[in-house]
Amino acid sequence: MRATATVRDLRDQIRSGRRSAVEVCRETLTRIERLEPSLHAFNSVTTDLALARASELDAQRDRWRDAPLLGVPIALKDNLCTRGVRTTASSRMLESFVPPYNATVVERLCQAGAVVIGKTNCDEFAMGSSTENSAFGPSRNPWALDRIPGGSSGGSAVAVAARMATVALGSDTGGSIRQPAALCGVVGLKPTYGRVSRYGLLAFASSLDQIGPLTRTVYDAAVTLTVLAGADPADATSASTPASDYTAGLTGDIRGARVGVPSSLLENGVEPDVLRAFRAALETLASRGATLVDLELPHARHAIAVYYLIATAEASSNLARYDGVRYGFRAADRPAQAGRHEQTDALRTMYAQTREIGFGPEVKRRIMLGTYVLSAGYYDAYYLKAQQVRTLILRDYDRAFERADVVAMPTSPTAAFKIGERVDDPLQMYLADVFTVSANLAGLPAISVPCGFTTEGLPVGLQLTGRRFHEATLLRIADAYEREAPWHTEEPRISKEVRI
């Protein structure tokens, strides 16, 4: 796959017959074959299925001519169900699980002419900020192989950054699309909660999870969202608010747009290089005609605590289904001829051993935290209180949007840290999401776009958060910034070394 190719490039080339979908697919698979041993972006690569799909598109090009993602190679985070293709959530618990159905987003990608090339590595059950919690080993940042790519959608970010996929889907519960996008130098979009169907997503925290794209450009994110967005009768939480063609508003004109900056949140804990790149990005937005507005988000300092109460409580509930009975890993079968009491003891032992062996340390940590939060005597003090503060965080944003169209912050307070650097310090790991969790708590859309590099050559991301269901405004402002500051055109050296 030619390293400069975007969704628009590939789609137009295949439509015109200048290239075939099979040619594009083979080039993509060749890049994966060469880069995967160094990067570990994928848990599985669907070579035969991808080539068969590409051949079908070429054979019926007239039928697919208007498909918005015609022939585009797309990778899927490995917590999205794919019919007949292993879906593991990077967990031993689901190491052999093959779903009998596709997630709604997968169906919509296929209807749009996409070619699914594989399933990407992630933190186990999407719980983490570095992809180090994968049961199958960490992914590596293509800008520096000793660094984490972010998480939990780390494999998806690596695949796009290293040009092993033109688009990848991730899930975002507290920043899991935007943070790895920032650390790998790509675009990551978390839509409004309910904008995209969650049917077929292996749930982590059901009131926070949302599916979205990681791409090379804002346009590519916009066209992918156009495909994914819309109500789904299979998902009761999907919104009926009409979606639109999100590429239509990408005019480059943001004169009069108001960009809110919560300056007081940036006073501590942000690396100097990150702060420098962020301030330069604000100057660029102002030069395009945007007005910068200083504002306050007074309850944002509580967001991490609130998030890790609500998210763990919901994780404890959602992951209770993995008990070794219905599907997935089972530690041992109960004796068939044992007496009733022996069978009961054996069943309890099987439950305990299944979860002890099947789940990794971080997942078990969050299940235990969530179970404690929901337990009698602590529910009101922790979970209920967290939900009340969540409402205050949402009201802060509502007030902010009376004065601003978007709120700007760095996506991550730091650039990518070294693999292994924080594995023994969960609190420091959790603080990687300090600027991203509020959008999930409030159900707001947010996007990360590349905005520069540190002195060590590591990518930095600019995060913009918008009003509910105002993805069009978010994308328009992000696109205008990207036109003026084309950091997205930079390519990791490891990717440059692979030429097809």
pLDDT of residue 7: 97
For 127, left (φ over 0), alpha (ψ -120 to 50), or beta? beta
pLDDT of residue 500: 64
The predicted model gives 473-498 an average pLDDT of 94
> Could you tell me the pLDDT band of residue 335, with boundaries at 50, 70 and 90?
very low
> Could you tell me the pLDDT band of residue 343, with boundaries at 50, 70 and 90?
low
Residue 152 falls in the annotated catalytic set = yes
Residue 496 falls in the annotated catalytic set = no
Residue 77 falls in the annotated catalytic set = yes
Determine contact, residues 288/251, Cβ cutoff 8 Å. no
> Could you tell me the pLDDT band of residue 327, with boundaries at 50, 70 and 90?
confident
Between strands 406-410 and 258-261, the pairing is parallel
The 3-state secondary structure of the chain, one letter per residue:
CCCCCCHHHHHHHHHHCCCCHHHHHHHHHHHHHHHHHHHCCEEEECHHHHHHHHHHHHHCHHHHCCCCCCCCEEEEECCECECCECCCCCCHHHCCCCCCCCCHHHHHHHHCCCEEEEEECCCHHHCCCCCCCCCCCCCCECCECCECCCCCCHHHHHHHHCCCCCEEEEEECCCCCHHHHHHHCCEEEECCCCCECCCCECCCCCCCCEEEEEECCHHHHHHHHHHHECCCCCCCCCCCCCCCCCCCCCCCCCCCCEEEECHHHHCCCCCHHHHHHHHHHHHHHHHCCCEEEECCCCCHHHHHHHHHHHHHHHHHHHHHHCCCCCCCCCCCCCCCCCCHHHHHHHHHHHHHHHHHHHCCHHHHHHHHHHHHHHCCCCHHHHHHHHHHHHHHHHHHHHHHCCCCCEEEEECCCCCCCECCCCCCCHHHHHHHHCCCHHHHHHCCCEEEEEEEECCCCCEEEEEEEECCCCHHHHHHHHHHHHHHCCHHHCCCHHHHCCCC
Q: What is the pLDDT of residues 396-447, one digit of tens each?
A: 999 999 999 999 999 999 999 999 999 889 889 999 999 999 999 999 999 9
83 closest CA partner among 67, 104, 62, 66: 104
335: burial class by Cβ within 10 Å (0-12, 13-18, 19+)? exposed
pLDDT of residue 3: 54
Question: Which domains, ranges and CATH numbers included, belong to the chain?
Answer: 7-260+403-496 (3.90.1300.10)
The predicted model gives 107-130 an average pLDDT of 98
> Could you tell me the pLDDT band of residue 334, with boundaries at 50, 70 and 90?
very low
The active-site residue, picked from 44, 77, 129, 130, is 77
Query: Would you state the structure tokens that stand for residue 303, as one six-digit string?
Result: 């967001």
pLDDT of residue 347: 84
φ, ψ of residue 56 to 5 degrees: the values are -60, -45
> Could you tell me the pLDDT band of residue 337, with boundaries at 50, 70 and 90?
very low
Q: Is the pLDDT of residue 499 over 80?
A: no
The active-site residue, picked from 44, 129, 152, 197, is 152
The active-site residue, picked from 91, 153, 156, 176, is 176
pLDDT of residue 246: 98
The predicted model scores a pTM of: 0.96
Q: How far apart are CA 403 and CA 398, in angstroms?
A: 9
> Could you tell me the pLDDT band of residue 4, with boundaries at 50, 70 and 90?
low
Determine contact, residues 148/132, Cβ cutoff 8 Å. yes
436: burial class by Cβ within 10 Å (0-12, 13-18, 19+)? buried
Q: Is the pLDDT of residue 342 over 80?
A: no
Q: Is the pLDDT of residue 344 over 90?
A: no
Q: What is the pLDDT of residues 148-195, one digit of tens each?
A: 999 999 999 999 999 999 999 999 999 999 999 999 999 999 999 999
Contacts of 63 (CB under 8 A, 6+ apart): none
Q: What is the pLDDT of residues 219-267, one digit of tens each?
A: 999 999 999 999 999 999 999 999 999 999 999 999 999 999 999 999 8
Q: Is the pLDDT of residue 208 over 90?
A: yes
> Could you tell me the pLDDT band of residue 468, with boundaries at 50, 70 and 90?
very high
Q: What is the pLDDT of residues 269-311, one digit of tens each?
A: 999 999 999 999 999 999 999 999 999 999 999 999 999 999 9
The predicted model gives 483-487 an average pLDDT of 95
